[in-house]
């Protein structure tokens, strides 16, 4: 009897583990997914608009801190007539700079007048897959603005379609 209990115990263990080995598996295919882990992108901005001798010049530029390429934008007025004839409005809406966009890597810029960005410059000029972009001022409206201080705010960042 003493040996019989040990045999029953061994048989029970073998049956328990052996039952798992008896499963029949019928593969139907393989599921695969790819996960992309991206590093955070840091974008820096530099603004150098100025008016001298009755002429507007300078620009606002943005670039990625590490040179990586992303889809980026800069805010412009939604009333900009075309991508090569941008309007950038000051906070009081009394002075407007006329500008042209430049995308890095010779990318063609696009204008999104319905971007709905914050402030008075609610449109966006966009550049896809670039490390930098800028808006260059070439004129202003009115051509002889009243003396004073004018503040231009342009939201900037990245976008996805």
Task: Kindly list the domain boundaries of the chain, sorted by start residue.
Answer: 43-143
| Residues 69, 127 contacting (CB under 8 angstroms) | no
* pLDDT band for position 21 (cuts 50, 70, 90): low
Q: Collapse the DSSP code of 128 into the 3-class scheme (helix H, G, I; strand E, B; otherwise coil) and give the result.
A: strand
Query: pLDDT per residue over 51-98, tens digit each?
Result: 888 899 999 999 999 999 999 999 999 999 999 999 999 999 999 999
Res 38: pLDDT: 73
Q: Collapse the DSSP code of 157 into the 3-class scheme (helix H, G, I; strand E, B; otherwise coil) and give the result.
A: strand
Mean pLDDT, the chain, whole residue set: 87
Alpha-carbon span 113 to 94, nearest angstrom: 20
* pLDDT band for position 26 (cuts 50, 70, 90): confident
Res 27: pLDDT: 80
Res 11: pLDDT: 53
The separation between CA 150 and the C-alpha centre of its own chain, rounded to angstroms, equals 28
Spell out the CATH class of 43-143.
Answer: mainly beta
Closest CA to 42 of 19, 72, 17: 72
For the entire predicted model, the pTM comes to 0.75
Residue 9 has pLDDT above 90, yes or no: no
């Amino acid at each position: 009897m003493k040996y019989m209990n040990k045999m029953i115990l061994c048989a029970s263990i073998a049956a328990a583990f052996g039952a798992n080995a008896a499963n029949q598996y019928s593969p139907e295919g393989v599921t695969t997914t790819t996960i992309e882990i991206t590093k955070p992108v840091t974008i820096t901005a530099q603004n150098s608009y100025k008016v001298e001798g009755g002429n507007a010049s300078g620009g606002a530029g943005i670039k990625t801190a590490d040179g990586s390429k992303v889809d980026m934008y800069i805010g412009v007025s939604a009333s900009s007539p075309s991508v090569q004839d941008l309007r950038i409005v000051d906070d009081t809406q009394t002075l407007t700079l006329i500008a042209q966009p430049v995308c890095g890597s010779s990318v063609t810029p696009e204008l999104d007048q319905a971007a709905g960005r914050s402030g008075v410059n609610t449109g966006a000029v966009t550049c896809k897959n670039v490390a930098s972009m800028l808006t260059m001022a070439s004129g202003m409206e009115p051509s002889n603005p009243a003396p004073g201080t004018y503040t231009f705010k342009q939201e900037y960042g990245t976008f996805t379609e």
